[in-house]
Structure 1
Amino acid sequence: MIKKGFLSVLVVGMALVLASSHSDAARYKYEETDVKNGGTITGVVNLKGEPPPPIMENLKKGK
């Protein structure tokens, strides 16, 4: 019984922490800044065998 109560308190506490962190993050807007000493990634990707089929994503899904 004590374990069940502790688990309930733990779940509610984690839910409150996650909810408060999400609302806090929504307050701040993205700020664009200059990047100094930025880098690039170069190279070649080689596939062995047949390439995978292309995936069609519905970009309007969830809107």
Structure 2
Amino acid sequence: MDLNLLAHALWAGRRRADAAQVFEVIGPHASRIPWAYVADRPGGPEQAFLEARDQCLYLRH
């Protein structure tokens, strides 16, 4: 969960390159918190995690 909190903080702070490094370590393993805080769309916390991860990892390639 600590890595999810770090990834969320970096992503929310628009430090996408730094967040991408954390997302690479996390892999597909999302925790409900903190992603539930931004899960105001269909798909819930898992979808919020995937969208944030995709935004950050896209910049790496």
Query: In proportion to residue count, which structure has more helix?
Result: 2
Same fold (TM over 0.5): no
Give the TM-score of the pair, scaled to structure 2. 0.28
Give the TM-score of the pair, scaled to structure 1. 0.28
Larger RCO: Structure 1 or Structure 2 (Cα < 8 Å, ≥ 6 residues apart)?
2
